[in-house]
Amino acid sequence: MYAAYFSLREMPFSITPDSSFFYPHEGIQAALNTLLIALRTGEGFIKIVGEVGCGKTVLCRHLLKTLEDECVTAYIPHPDMGPDDLLMALVHELAIEVPPPLSRHKVLNALRDGLLQHAQARRRVVICIDEAQAMPIRTLERLRLLSNLETEKQKLLQIVLLGQPELDVSLAKPEIRQLLQRITFSEYLGPMRAERVPAYLAHRLSVSALSESTDTDLFEAKAAEEIARYSRGVPRLVNVLAHKCLILAYGENTHRVNVAHVRQAGADTPGVWTQGSWWRGWQTGRPSGEVK
C-alpha cells in the first residue's frame, strides 16, 4: 500500500504485536521493571493487568526476548483450556518428552523431572500466560499447585499472568484465594499519557524506515495531538488511527498527515473518544476513574 510511497520497509502501525516496535513509555516501562525485578529475585507469581489494547502482549514478547539469554522461557497465548491441557501445553513449550501412554501422573512427573534438571543446571524457568482472564477456575487452581514445585532454595517455576481487568475478578473468588495470596508483585498497565503519543508515532516510523535518510516527520504536531485525543493514549487505537491517516495522505498524494486526516480517520473508527471532559483530565495525568 503506502509503505514504498513513504520510504518505509514495513507497515509501521500494524496492530499485530511486534516486540521490535516496543516503546518504553512510563506505564509499560514500569511494568517491565517490575517483571524483571520480580523474576530475577526468584518470585513465583507475578501479575500484570491492563486494559484492552494497552500493549500487554507486546510487553510479554519483549520480556521473553529480554530473558532469552537468562532463562528457559515458555509462552501460553491462549489459556482457555482445562487443567490437563495446560499440563500438556507446558511440557510441549518446555520441550519435555513424556513417553506413552500418557496420563496425568506421568505428565506431572515428567514436568517435575524436567524442571529439576533445569534447576540443577542453574537455569530459571519462566512461563508467561497471556490473556489469563480466560483461564477457567480449575485451571488457575492447577497453576497454583504447579507453583508448589520447588527445592529447599528456589521455585522450579516462575509464572507471569497477563490479562484484562477481568483477571482480578477471577482471582478474587474465594475458591482460589490461595493463588491470590501467592502473587507477590503486580502492576497495572494503562494508556500512554497524551504527551507521549507524538514520540510513539515517531518511534514506530523510525523503526520501519527504509534508511536513516527516510523522512519520518509525517505527522503534523496538531495531527499527533488529535490522534492522542481520539485514542486516549491506547496504543492499539493510536495504531489504527495512524494507519488510516497514512492511507488518506497517500490517497491525496501528500507526505504530511494533518488534522483533517485524523478527523476523517476518527469518524471511521469505532471505540475512539470524542468528548472533552475525559481528555482534559487525561492531559494532567489523572483521568476520571483511572485505576491507581
Task: Looking at the structure, tell me whether residues 31 and 68 fall in a common domain.
Answer: yes
* Band of residue 99 on the pLDDT scale cut at 50, 70, 90: confident
Determine contact, residues 107/43, Cβ cutoff 8 Å: no
Q: How do residues 132-179 score in pLDDT, each as one tens digit? A: 999 999 999 999 998 888 877 788 999 999 999 999 999 999 999 999
Task: Looking at the structure, tell me whether residues 172 and 209 fall in a common domain.
Answer: no
- For residue 92, being part of any structural domain is answered with yes
* Band of residue 275 on the pLDDT scale cut at 50, 70, 90: low
Task: Looking at the structure, tell me whether residues 202 and 222 fall in a common domain.
Answer: yes
The radius of gyration of the chain from alpha carbons, rounded to an integer in Å, stands at 22
Task: Looking at the structure, tell me whether residues 167 and 83 fall in a common domain.
Answer: yes
Question: Residue 284 pLDDT more than 80?
Answer: no
Distance CA 7, CA 253 (A): 14
Task: Looking at the structure, tell me whether residues 233 and 169 fall in a common domain.
Answer: no
pLDDT of residue 58: 96
- Final residue of a structural domain among 189, 204, 227: 189
Task: Looking at the structure, tell me whether residues 171 and 64 fall in a common domain.
Answer: yes
Task: Looking at the structure, tell me whether residues 173 and 215 fall in a common domain.
Answer: no
* Band of residue 274 on the pLDDT scale cut at 50, 70, 90: low
Q: How do residues 26-57 score in pLDDT, each as one tens digit? A: 999 999 999 999 999 988 899 999 999 999 99
Cα 13 off chain centre by: 16
- What CATH number is given to the structural domain containing 215? 1.10.8.60
Distance CA 23, CA 96 (A): 34
Determine contact, residues 265/245, Cβ cutoff 8 Å: yes
Percent of the chain exceeding pLDDT 90 equals 82
pLDDT of residue 153: 76
pLDDT of residue 273: 75
Amino acid residing at 25: H
Q: How do residues 231-243 score in pLDDT, each as one tens digit? A: 999 999 999 999 9
- For residue 214, being part of any structural domain is answered with yes
- What CATH number is given to the structural domain containing 147? 3.40.50.300
Cα 193 off chain centre by: 17
Task: Looking at the structure, tell me whether residues 81 and 30 fall in a common domain.
Answer: yes
What domain range is 68 assigned to? 26-189
Task: Looking at the structure, tell me whether residues 224 and 269 fall in a common domain.
Answer: yes
Question: Residue 283 pLDDT more than 50?
Answer: no
Count structural domains, the chain: 2
Instruction: Give the dihedral sign, CA 256/258/263/266.
Output: positive
**Average predicted confidence (pLDDT) for the chain:** 91
Task: Looking at the structure, tell me whether residues 121 and 256 fall in a common domain.
Answer: no
Residue 32, CA atoms < 13 Å, CB-side half-sphere: 21
- Taking the alpha carbons at both ends of the chain, their separation in whole angstroms is 41
**Cis, bond preceding 101 (omega within 30 deg of 0):** yes
* Band of residue 281 on the pLDDT scale cut at 50, 70, 90: very low
pLDDT of residue 291: 33
pLDDT of residue 256: 97
Percent of the chain exceeding pLDDT 70 equals 93
Q: What is the 3-state secondary structure (H, E, C) of the chain?
A: CCCCCCCECCCCCCCCCCHHHCCCCHHHHHHHHHHHHHHHCCCCEEEEEECCCCCHHHHHHHHHHHHCCCEEEEEECCCCCCHHHHHHHHHHHCCCCCCCCCCHHHHHHHHHHHHHHHHHCCCEEEEEECCHHHCCHHHHHHHHHHCCCECCCCECCEEEEEECCHHHHHHCCHHHHHHHHHEEEEEEECCCCHHHHHHHHHHHHHHHECCCCCCCCCECHHHHHHHHHHHCCCHHHHHHHHHHHHHHHHHCCCCCECHHHHHHHHHCCCCCCCCCHHHHHHHCCCCCCCCC
Determine contact, residues 16/61, Cβ cutoff 8 Å: no
Q: How do residues 189-212 score in pLDDT, each as one tens digit? A: 999 999 999 999 999 999 999 998
pLDDT of residue 147: 86
- Final residue of a structural domain among 140, 173, 189: 189
Task: Looking at the structure, tell me whether residues 182 and 270 fall in a common domain.
Answer: no
Question: Residue 5 pLDDT more than 80?
Answer: yes
- For residue 147, being part of any structural domain is answered with yes
pTM of the entire structure?
0.88
